Amino acid sequence: MTRGRGEEGTRKPDKTFSVHRLSFGEEFDTATLKWEELDPGNRSMSLNKKIINQKAKKIRLILFDVDGILTDGRILYNEKGREIKFFHVHDGQGIRWLLKSGIEVGFLSGRSSPAVAMRAKELGISFLFQEVGDKIKIFKKLLKITKLDPEQVAFMGDDFMDHPLLKKVGLSFSVSNGHPLIQKEVDYVTRAAGGFGAVREVSELILRAQGKWQFILKDYGLKK
């Protein structure tokens, strides 16, 4: 396990597949991930850096759990009992960069929320599955749809129900506020907390590994 630093379609829950691309162009945050800035106290860092880089180069699809990854895990209700979720603009931007770079993105959630469906449509992600009881089943379904191998898929989760899928994919991620037992099982733990830029962090990691980050920066007139 390695620790890193810590906007912006759909097929319906368990039934949803369509690819829709939104226009690209949201504000760029200059905060970036650099291997040199990883926690020097982490003894696994030097051993895992190369391995994670190699795994990240193969990724063509990344799947995200929703609660605790795309959000901070809290669930709020308004006076009418409607669920409210908070999403971070930096995470959305990271997802857009992945899509722009040819990497498909999917959301997997055990719950069902109109807010998640709206966010998925807004970002133009490739896959949305809600009310998912068995994430391995969805994973196998996606492998057939995309014709990808397991090592070409990444998954980011934070709790026990995510563990089976985290062990099946080619590259696994968790967040700084994820359960410690899950953090021990994944390839990379973000410095950012879930709902606060963790998705952006892994997006940059993958794009850097694949040599695509420089093209993202070029769009904004920036250099490494």
What number is the average pLDDT over the span 6-12? Answer: 41
Instruction: Give the whole-angstrom CA distance, residue 130 versus residue 27.
Output: 29
Do 56 and 206 contact (CB within 8 A), yes or no? yes
pLDDT in tens, 155-183: 999 999 999 999 999 999 999 999 999 99
Between the alpha carbon of residue 188 and those of residues 2, 16, 82, 172, the distances in Å are 5, 29, 34, 7
Instruction: Give the whole-angstrom CA distance, residue 101 versus residue 162.
Output: 26
What per-residue confidence (pLDDT) applies to 2? Answer: 56
Cα torsion 141, 146, 147, 151: sign = negative
What per-residue confidence (pLDDT) applies to 3? Answer: 54
| The residue to which tokens 């097929």 are assigned | 11
Instruction: Provide Rg for the chain, Cα atoms.
Output: 16
Q: Is the pTM of this model over 0.75?
A: yes
Residue 125 confidence class, pLDDT cut points 50, 70, 90: very high
What per-residue confidence (pLDDT) applies to 83? Answer: 83
One-letter identity of residue 35: W
Out of 6-15, 72-81, 128-137, which region has the weakest mean confidence (pLDDT)? 6-15
Backbone angles phi, psi at 155, to 5 degrees: -140, 145
Q: Which two tokens stand for residue 65?
A: 């759990």
One-letter identity of residue 185: E
**Residue that wins the pLDDT comparison between 32 and 87:** 87
Beta strands (DSSP E) in the chain are: 2-3, 10-12, 15-17, 61-65, 76-77, 83-84, 104-108, 127-129, 153-156, 171-174, 188-189
33 has pLDDT over 50? no
Q: Which two tokens stand for residue 43?
A: 């003894």
What number is the average pLDDT over the span 189-218? Answer: 95
pLDDT in tens, 40-96: 333 343 348 889 999 999 999 999 999 999 998 888 888 888 888 889 999 999 999
What per-residue confidence (pLDDT) applies to 4? Answer: 53
